[in-house]
Structure 1
Amino acid sequence: MITATYDLTADGVGPVRLTATDRGQGRPYLLLHGGAGPASAAGFADLLAGEQPARVIAPVHPGFDGTPRPETLTNVRGLAAVYNAFLETLGLTDVVVVGNSIGGWIAAEMALLGSPRLGAVVLVDAVGIEVPGHPVVDFFSLSLDDVARLSYHDPASFRIDPDAMTPAQRETMAGNRAALAVYGGSMADPALRERLSGVTAPALVLWGEADRIADPDYGRAYAAAMPGARFRLLAGTGHVPQIETPGSLLAAIREFTAAEVSVVGPDEGEATLTGPIRMRILEDGSTTGHRLGLGEITIAPHTEGPPQHRHARHDEGFYVVAGTVRFTVGEESHDAGPRTLVMVPPGAPHTFANPGDEPAVVLNTFTPDLYVQYFRDLRAMVAAGRPMTDDAVAEVMGRYATEPVTN
Structure 2
Amino acid sequence: MDRLLANGTVNAAQSGEGPPLFLFHSLLSDRASFDAIVPALAGSFRIIVPELPGFGSSRAVEGGLARIADRMAEAVHDAAGGAPAIVLGNGYGGFVALQMAIRHPDIASKLVLADSGAAFSEPGREAFRNMAKVSREKGLEAITDVAMRRLFAPEFQAQHPELMQDRRAAFLRTDPDVFRAACDALASLDLRSELVAVKIPVLVMVGEHDEATPPPMSHELAAGLPRAELRILGGCAHVPQLQSPRQFLEAIEEFLR
3-state SS of the aligned residue for 2:174?
helix
Within 2, Cα distance between the matches of 1:69 and 1:133? 28
Contact kept, 8 Å, 1:234 with 1:248, in 2: the verdict is yes
Match of residue 44, structure 1, among 37, 46, 57: 37
CA 1:105–1:159: 2 relative to 1, 3 Å:
farther
State, as a whole percentage, how many aligned pairs show the same letter: 26
Q: Give the equivalent residue in structure 2 for 1:206.
A: 205
Contact kept, 8 Å, 2:125 with 2:186, in 1: the verdict is no
Within 2, Cα distance between the matches of 1:62 and 1:199? 23
Q: Give the equivalent residue in structure 1 for 2:87.
A: 97
Tell me the TM-score normalised to structure 1 length: 0.54
Within 2, Cα distance between the matches of 1:128 and 1:188? 11
What per-residue deviation string (whole Å, max 9, x for no partner) do you get for residues 243-281 of structure 1? 1011111111112122xxxxxxxxxxxxxxxxxxxxxxx
Contact kept, 8 Å, 1:74 with 1:182, in 2: the verdict is no
Aligned length: 241
Within 2, Cα distance between the matches of 1:98 and 1:63? 19
CA 1:123–1:202: 2 relative to 1, 3 Å:
same
CA 1:132–1:6: 2 relative to 1, 3 Å:
closer
Match of residue 13, structure 2, among 16, 21, 24: 21
User: Once the 2 structures are TM-superposed, how far is the Cα of residue 146 of structure 1 from its aligned partner?
Assistant: 2.9
User: Once the 2 structures are TM-superposed, how far is the Cα of residue 191 of structure 1 from its aligned partner?
Assistant: 3.4
Contact kept, 8 Å, 2:6 with 2:78, in 1: the verdict is no
Q: Give the equivalent residue in structure 2 for 1:116.
A: 106
User: Once the 2 structures are TM-superposed, how far is the Cα of residue 226 of structure 1 from its aligned partner?
Assistant: 1.2
Q: Which amino acid aligns with 1:223?
A: A
- Equivalences for residues 258-407 of structure 1 within 5 A: 258=257
Q: Which amino acid aligns with 2:201?
A: P
CA 1:198–1:184: 2 relative to 1, 3 Å:
farther
Q: Which amino acid aligns with 1:45?
A: V
Q: Which amino acid aligns with 2:52?
A: H
Tell me the TM-score normalised to structure 2 length: 0.82
Within 1, Cα distance between the matches of 2:109 and 2:126? 28
User: Once the 2 structures are TM-superposed, how far is the Cα of residue 213 of structure 1 from its aligned partner?
Assistant: 1.2
What per-residue deviation string (whole Å, max 9, x for no partner) do you get for residues 315-335 of structure 1? xxxxxxxxxxxxxxxxxxxxx
Q: Give the equivalent residue in structure 2 for 1:55.
A: 46
Moved more, 223-232 or 141-150: 141-150
User: Once the 2 structures are TM-superposed, how far is the Cα of residue 178 of structure 1 from its aligned partner?
Assistant: 3.2
Instruction: Tell me which structure has the larger Cα radius of gyration.
Output: 1
User: Once the 2 structures are TM-superposed, how far is the Cα of residue 216 of structure 1 from its aligned partner?
Assistant: 0.7
Q: Which amino acid aligns with 2:242?
A: I
Contact kept, 8 Å, 1:122 with 1:206, in 2: the verdict is yes
3-state SS of the aligned residue for 2:217?
helix
- Equivalences for residues 140-179 of structure 1 within 5 A: 140=131, 143-153=143-153, 154-158=156-160, 169=169, 173-179=172-178
Q: Give the equivalent residue in structure 2 for 1:223.
A: 222
Contact kept, 8 Å, 1:136 with 1:214, in 2: the verdict is no
Q: Give the equivalent residue in structure 2 for 1:180.
A: 179
Q: Give the equivalent residue in structure 2 for 1:77.
A: 66
Q: Give the equivalent residue in structure 1 for 2:137.
A: none
User: Once the 2 structures are TM-superposed, how far is the Cα of residue 200 of structure 1 from its aligned partner?
Assistant: 0.9
Contact kept, 8 Å, 2:6 with 2:74, in 1: the verdict is no
Q: Which amino acid aligns with 1:76?
A: L
User: Once the 2 structures are TM-superposed, how far is the Cα of residue 109 of structure 1 from its aligned partner?
Assistant: 0.9
Q: Which amino acid aligns with 1:208?
A: G
CA 1:80–1:47: 2 relative to 1, 3 Å:
same
Within 2, Cα distance between the matches of 1:101 and 1:222? 13
3-state SS of the aligned residue for 1:130?
coil
Q: Which runs of 5+ in 2 are unaligned?
A: 135-141
Within 1, Cα distance between the matches of 2:250 and 2:75? 27
Contact kept, 8 Å, 1:212 with 1:238, in 2: the verdict is yes
Contact kept, 8 Å, 2:91 with 2:213, in 1: the verdict is no
User: Once the 2 structures are TM-superposed, how far is the Cα of residue 42 of structure 1 from its aligned partner?
Assistant: 3.2
What per-residue deviation string (whole Å, max 9, x for no partner) do you get for residues 207-244 of structure 1? 00010112111211111121121111001110001110
Q: Which amino acid aligns with 1:203?
A: V
User: Once the 2 structures are TM-superposed, how far is the Cα of residue 161 of structure 1 from its aligned partner?
Assistant: 9.6
Contact kept, 8 Å, 1:111 with 1:200, in 2: the verdict is no
Q: Which runs of 5+ in 1 are unaligned?
A: 9-15, 259-407
Contact kept, 8 Å, 1:37 with 1:176, in 2: the verdict is no
More strand by share: 1
User: Once the 2 structures are TM-superposed, how far is the Cα of residue 173 of structure 1 from its aligned partner?
Assistant: 2.2
